[in-house]
Structure 1
């Protein structure tokens, strides 16, 4: 049984439970955030698919909070699937963490080994692999937000090294098929947008990519990233989530918040772009 310990606690977010909870609440209350805390009340409406950033909480946390606020008054998901890019080049092309638990300062989260196995059975695009996840931060930084809003939940982390169009379409289609056995589920794609360009240029490039995301246009996303040299690190996970959402009946995405690190720090000379996006499924 795997036990994945935090790789970036104390760097991307605080390492003590009290400080981490306070930091998450600050993200919700931040002037760039939704400016209020989520109501921890369950409803009947299905959770949306989300796209969320994965920088340090001080930079991207307020933008991420807009997405996680959408989980209030929703049905409790039976499983949460988080897809993130592999920044380190270690492990398999598409790695599903197979079993065990992920640990954060807020506690441990059980891996849904049944869904992990189902994905591996559905498509050979997936490898059951822990190695890809050991150092990777893109999935990890989503987990404390999820713990804060949802409490206990089951998790399936998917780390994507091969972000090619064909691979990520396969991931999305298999994920849609696997999730048809669940009544309520949450899927999160983890990505930052343009990296280290002047604020005005970064926002313009981000908007080109986000236009394709809004329309669930997977091929268009790849085309615009290539044509305009957009340094969006998690385009593969986003493409997979767009493909999965379409397979489950989604029609459109909605941008909840788009900002850059310059909006937080005031330094607009070389920024990173962040967005929170939701995709509603038919209830």
Structure 2
């Protein structure tokens, strides 16, 4: 009997009504331009859709569903401390649109490396970072719903060395043009409730300082240099919750650079938003950003 992961955040973080959800997703995707595709990897936010759905639409608009047959989803662990990465123990991820099947062959291949733990069902259903990508994936791929599989990976608090290890392990999959990587990450979590109140007063209002800080990080990610990204995080401590999945992506790209048949990898951020504008030290906000990686 197949083990099924429920859409545990449906009805709260996003609509549990399939028709309503499909219409919302269609709206966000239609409002975004196809300007940097076909994507080989995307970075997409994972907050409630009322906050980040429009921003996420820009990342998902870059996907070519005709090409994609395998989708890796790397999301940070918010509730469980993990020294490494974990694979789902289930066979099916449910969404209000239709069920998504986990690629059991790839799951076995990754397990056999000895570097992946098993994520139990409770941990899986409590975590939102992977789930918030699933309805967008289902919508974009709905014309090919029987032709693709997913590989969800929960990413723990990795050292730079561990990010490099997982980057090397995943690089061969990224080399396949039929494989897409979805990196789940919000950007700066600012405010006393997040215990992060960095403020560069030369930027003007607090929300401008936050935007400047995020833009600095986004510019560094666009250089595809994992070391520079690690140094940026050390210097500023920006609370980018998906920093480790992003680090793994940058390391996978670094491992792949000599194996792209002369093609150049180009990552570009397409949209940026904040949940609210912070103007005083009692305010708080979360930032969202969408990016796409292409081979040129």
Per the TM superposition, whether the score is higher than 0.5 is: yes
- Distance 1:47-1:134 versus aligned 2 partners, 3 A rule: same
**Residue of structure 2 equivalent to 1:279:** 293
Distance in 1 (CA, whole Å) between partners of 2:274 and 2:244 is: 21
Provide Cα deviations, 1:127-176, integer angstroms capped at 9, x if missing partner. 23334422110010101001111122210000012232222221111011
Where structure 2 has 5 or more consecutive residues not aligned to the other structure, the ranges are 192-205, 258-263
- Distance 1:226-1:277 versus aligned 2 partners, 3 A rule: same
Choose 1 or 2 for highest CA Rg: 2
Match of 1:97 among 64, 80, 88: 88
1:162-201 alignment, distance < 5 Å: 162-180=157-175, 182-197=176-191, 198-201=206-209
Q: C-alpha displacement at 1:177, in angstroms? A: 2.4
CA contact (8 A) 1:76 1:150 kept: no
TM-score, with structure 1 as normaliser:
0.86
Where structure 1 has 5 or more consecutive residues not aligned to the other structure, the ranges are 39-44
Match of 2:233 among 225, 238, 245: 225
SS in 1 for 2:295: coil
Provide Cα deviations, 1:251-275, integer angstroms capped at 9, x if missing partner. 331111122123xxx6764221111
SS in 2 for 1:143: helix
SS in 1 for 2:168: helix
Distance in 2 (CA, whole Å) between partners of 1:13 and 1:48 is: 26
Tell me, yes or no, if structure 1 residue 128 matches structure 2 residue 118: yes
Q: What is the RMSD computed on CA atoms of the aligned residues?
A: 2.2
CA contact (8 A) 1:14 1:23 kept: no
**Residue of structure 2 equivalent to 1:20:** 21
Q: C-alpha displacement at 1:192, in angstroms? A: 0.3
Distance in 1 (CA, whole Å) between partners of 2:90 and 2:272 is: 35
Tell me, yes or no, if structure 1 residue 252 matches structure 2 residue 266: yes
**Residue of structure 2 equivalent to 1:119:** 110
Distance in 1 (CA, whole Å) between partners of 2:256 and 2:89 is: 24
TM-score, with structure 2 as normaliser:
0.82
Tell me, yes or no, if structure 1 residue 71 matches structure 2 residue 63: yes
**Residue of structure 2 equivalent to 1:213:** 221
Q: How many residues align?
A: 265
Provide Cα deviations, 1:195-225, integer angstroms capped at 9, x if missing partner. 1344212211101211210011112112111
Q: C-alpha displacement at 1:22, in angstroms? A: 2.0
**Residue of structure 1 equivalent to 2:41:** 49
Distance in 2 (CA, whole Å) between partners of 1:246 and 1:50 is: 16
